[in-house]
C-alpha cells in the first residue's frame, strides 16, 4: 500500500511540476501576444471608448474570426491605425465603418447592415418566432374548440344509456 503511494507520488510530483512550468510558459506567451497588438491610446476618453468599440466591431479580413483589436496580423494593425487617424479627424463611427467597407467589403462588419442580401439574416429569427407563435395559437384554438363543443344527439344518447346502466355519477366526491 505504501509502495503504491510512493510510486504514485513519484509520478505525480514531476507531473505537477511540468504543469506548473507549462502554465507559466503559456502565461508568458499570452503576455507576449498581447504586447504584439498595439492599441492606440487617446487622451480623450470619449475617443478612446469609440476606438475600443470600433476595433472590437470591425473584423480582420485576413483572420478567420478575429476583431481588428484582437489580431496581430499586419492588416489589422493598419486598420487600427486608420481608425485612430479617422477618429482624430473627427469622423463619425458610421463614416469610419463605411471607409472600411469601401475597401474590404461588408465582411469587416461584425454587425452586417440590413440590405437586400442580409434581410433573411436579420428577419429570419423574427419570422421564425412569429411562425412558432402562430403554430401555438392554432393548436390552442383547436384544442379549446374541441373541448367546448356540445355533444351531438347520438353522443348524448350514448351518454344517457351509459349513465342509466352504471347509475348516477359521483359528483366528484370521493367519500360519499
Residue 71 CB, shortest distance to another protein, in Å, is 11
Distances in whole angstroms, Cα of residue 103 to Cα of each of 9, 91, 95, 172? 60, 17, 13, 76
- How big is the CA angle at 65 (ends 56 and 55), to the nearest 5 degrees? 15
Query: Min. distance of Cβ 142 from another protein in angstroms?
Result: 8
CB of 116 to another protein, least distance (A): 13
Question: Which lies closer to another protein via its Cβ, residue 103 or residue 113?
Answer: 103
Task: Kindly state the smallest distance separating residue 41's Cβ from another protein, in Å.
Answer: 21
* Buried-state track 120-159, b at ≥16 Cβ within 10 A, e below 16: eeeeeeeeeeeeeeeeeeeeeeeeeeeeeeeeeeeeeeee
Give residues with Cβ within 8 angstroms of 152, minimum separation 6: none
Residues of this chain that interact with another protein (CB under 8 A) are 60-62, 64, 74-75, 78, 82, 101-107
- Phi then psi for residue 162, to 5 deg, are -65, -40
Residue with smaller CB distance to another protein, 74 or 90: 74
Q: How far is the CB of 61 from another protein (least distance, A)?
A: 4
Pick the closer one to another protein by CB: 51 or 59: 59
Instruction: For another protein, give the closer residue by CB, 42 or 104.
Output: 104
Under 8 Å between Cβ of 108 and 100: yes
Nearest to 109 by CA among 64, 47, 56: 56
Complex with another protein: residue 31 or 134, whichever CB lies closer: 134
Amino acid at each position: 500500500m505504501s509502495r503504491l503511494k510512493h510510486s504514485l507520488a513519484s509520478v505525480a510530483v514531476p507531473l505537477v511540476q511540468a504543469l506548473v512550468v507549462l502554465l507559466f510558459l503559456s502565461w508568458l506567451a499570452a503576455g507576449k501576444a498581447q504586447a504584439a497588438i498595439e492599441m492606440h491610446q487617446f487622451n480623450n476618453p470619449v475617443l478612446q471608448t469609440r476606438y475600443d468599440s470600433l476595433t472590437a466591431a470591425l473584423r480582420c479580413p485576413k483572420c478567420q474570426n478575429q476583431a481588428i483589436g484582437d489580431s496581430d496580423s499586419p492588416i489589422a494593425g493598419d486598420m487600427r491605425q486608420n481608425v485612430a487617424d479617422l477618429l482624430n479627424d473627427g469622423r463619425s463611427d458610421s463614416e469610419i465603418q463605411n471607409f472600411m467597407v469601401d475597401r474590404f467589403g461588408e465582411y469587416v462588419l461584425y454587425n452586417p447592415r440590413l440590405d437586400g442580401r442580409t434581410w433573411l439574416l436579420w428577419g429570419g429569427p423574427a419570422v421564425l418566432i412569429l411562425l412558432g407563435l402562430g403554430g401555438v395559437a392554432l393548436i390552442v384554438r383547436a384544442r379549446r374548440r374541441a373541448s367546448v363543443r356540445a355533444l351531438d344527439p347520438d353522443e348524448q344518447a350514448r351518454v344517457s344509456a351509459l349513465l342509466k346502466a352504471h347509475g348516477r355519477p359521483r359528483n366528484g366526491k370521493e367519500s360519499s
